[in-house]
Amino acid sequence: MKRFNAGAPRQATDGARLSAAQSLVQRTLAQHGLMPPPDGSGTSPMPALPSLDRMLAQFAGPGGAAAATPDAMPVGATFESDTYTCAAGSRAYRTYVPASAAQGLTGVIMMLHGCTQTPEDFAAGTGMNALAEEHRLVIVYPKQSRGDNAQSCWNWFSRGDQQRGRGEPAILAGLAAHVGGLHGIGRDATFVAGLSAGAAMAVILGEAYGDVFAAVGAHSGLPVGAARDVPSAFAAMAGNATGQARPPQIHGPVRTIIFHGTADPTVHPSNGEAIARRAIDAYAPQSIESSLTEHRAGRQVNRVISCGPDGTAIVEHWAIEGQGHAWSGGRTAGTYTDPTGPDASAEMIRFFFETSHSDQ
């Protein structure tokens, strides 16, 4: 049985990028009295802790402010707004129901946007609504409240939003089950995917609510338990997770597909490797691995596939050479997208519905 090599050397560019990220984190935290300045001088009282979303803006880079250009909808399709409320709280959301639903729906995908994004932006950038028409899928786009996070980040780093039965996981899982129930779609055809903070929340949902979601798609995200507060969140984003992640909260096996750019300056690619390792250890410790190196849409892709005894792909990890913090194969109509590279949206849908892997 082959396993991920956690000790593989990183490229020099990764080391330089990590060093710069660590320096910026240290300077930022020093400004707020959370650690000594880089030169070791001076002390200051600790003021109120700034929110992660405001600090994240320093890392996010360009692309977060542009307005999305929505696709024209086919006649018969709907993209409606609503609000879901449960004991844990409420969130607004949009639901895309394709015109092809008249032929019978096949599944539901919950799409969790990244920081500074909106449901409309994320829909435009991922192109998921067009794929929904092709595959007869309902797509639900929850909207993070600015009252809960000023930059619209999902609170994956907060202890109160990392487990079953409380906080954002409870709200989002309840919303997914609600939408599935409205359309007669059960757990086996209900999936969740996200970008960055949305991906970090998606893997939390996969562990905490495996009885709601059958598979997870994580693009440029972080593993469950990588952080417990703002400082540890930035350490994890820079590739230096602190503390010890708690054991998985397993509520049914959840298959996972991961995409991460090797040149991601915001969330270090080691986090994608950590998501894959955790998923394998939790759901398929006796899996059989195969590694593929291929070129997709102008980019080299290193893909590691872990299959169960029946040949079903349990985990796929795509490392995309030279890609930054952006949705692979995305559309320029949305933010944080990279049109070059494999189409992450299409590959996620393929993985979600795949029952066996034929490339072994």
| Mean of pLDDT values over 12-29 | 44
Q: Considering the domain boundaries, does residue 2 fall inside one?
A: no
Query: What is the model's pLDDT at position 59?
Result: 42
- The count of domains in the chain is 1
Q: Considering the domain boundaries, does residue 199 fall inside one?
A: yes
Q: Considering the domain boundaries, does residue 248 fall inside one?
A: yes
pLDDT band at 247 (very low <50, low <70, confident <90, very high): low
Region of residue 323 (phi > 0: left; psi between -120 and 50: alpha; otherwise: beta): beta
Q: Considering the domain boundaries, does residue 223 fall inside one?
A: yes
- Shortest CA distance to 209 belongs to which of 261, 259, 168? 168
Residue 47: beta bridge partners? none
Q: Considering the domain boundaries, does residue 161 fall inside one?
A: yes
CB 251 within 8 A of CB 208: yes
Higher pLDDT, 164 or 230: 164
97 φ/ψ angles, rounded to the nearest 5 degrees = -115, 120
Give me the CATH number covering residue 99.
3.40.50.1820
Range of the domain at 242: 14-37+48-353
Burial 149-174 (b: 16+ CB within 10 A, else e): bebbbbbbbbeebbbbebbbbbbbbb
Q: Considering the domain boundaries, does residue 43 fall inside one?
A: no
Q: Considering the domain boundaries, does residue 299 fall inside one?
A: yes
| pLDDT tens track for 74-120 | 999 999 999 999 999 999 999 999 999 999 999 999 999 999 999 99
- Whole-model pTM above 0.85? no
81 φ/ψ angles, rounded to the nearest 5 degrees = -105, 145
